[in-house]
Amino acid sequence: MNIKEYTGYGPVLVRLAIAALFLNAGIRKLMNPDGIIGLLTNQGFPLPMFLGWVVLLSEVIFGLCILVGWKVKYTAWPLVIIMLVAAFAVVGISSQSSTNFIFHIIAAVALINLALSGPGKLAISKE
Closest CA to 125 of 63, 59, 60, 75: 75
Query: Rounded to two decimals, what is the model's pTM?
Result: 0.91
Question: Is 21 part of any domain?
Answer: yes
Question: Is 36 part of any domain?
Answer: yes
Question: Is 125 part of any domain?
Answer: no
Question: Is 26 part of any domain?
Answer: yes
By residue range, what is the domain housing residue 76? 8-117
Q: CA end-to-end span of the chain, whole Å?
A: 28
Question: Is 13 part of any domain?
Answer: yes
Question: Is 124 part of any domain?
Answer: no
Overall number of domains in the chain: 1
Question: Is 2 part of any domain?
Answer: no
pLDDT digits (tens, 9 = 90+) for 14-70: 999 999 999 999 999 999 999 999 999 999 999 999 999 999 999 999 999 999 999
